[in-house]
Amino acid sequence: MRAMVNDALWRAAPPALPDSLLDCLTEPASLSLRLQAGGRRFAVTVLSQGEDRVQADEAEALDLAEGEPAYARHVLLTLDDAPVVFARSTARPDCPAWLPVLRRGSRSLGLTLFGELPELVRDPLRYALLAGGHPLAAAADRVQPAAGYPARRCRFLLGGSPLLLTELFLPALEDFL
């Protein structure tokens, strides 16, 4: 299994952001739990789930080639019905470790990743400011247009199998922080 590398897009240091947003972006624990702790009504809305293709900046972390089949789950995290985070979770399409975890309906993935799997190995968070030509920025733009999206990404290993979780912070999040 290859290690996730620090490429030109994803970095170890977060982008320059207002303190409240930066604090949320660099949250070391569950983002879902942090959002729930704010006292607002929290929900997960599944946008799509199933077969997809590995994106260029996901390939190495998943030990797959760009464009190969993958299993992906796209969700919105909402506070008081307002979308605040767009997230994509990606794994191998036939992964016995991750497919049951990803097929969870509207239950938050963060609750499982940060409490229900003690054998889970987590790589360090990586950060980017996604815009323009990035496919996830284009997907987030359909939900809530912005010039760019602060984003974080983390690879998790369960039984040696990788899951890549990417979260894009939508502009409305700042209104709740």
**Lowest-confidence pick of 33-37, 57-61, 76-80, 141-145:** 33-37
Cα–Cα distance for residue pair 18/173, rounded to 1 Å: 12
> CB within 8 A of 100, min separation 6: which ones?
none
Q: Which residues pair with 43 in a beta bridge?
A: 78
Q: Which residues pair with 88 in a beta bridge?
A: 74, 166
Angle in degrees, CA 77, 79, 80, rounded to 5: 135
Give the amino acid at 79: L
Task: Give 3-36 pLDDT, tens digit per residue.
Answer: 344 356 899 999 999 999 999 999 998 899 899 9
User: What per-residue confidence (pLDDT) applies to 29?
Assistant: 87
Task: Give 76-122 pLDDT, tens digit per residue.
Answer: 999 999 999 999 999 999 999 999 999 988 889 988 888 778 889 99
Tell me the average pLDDT across 33-59.
94
Any idea how long the chain is? 177
Tell me the average pLDDT across 56-63.
95
Cα–Cα distance for residue pair 36/43, rounded to 1 Å: 9
Q: DSSP string spanning 49-68? A: EEEEE--TTTHHHHTS-TT-
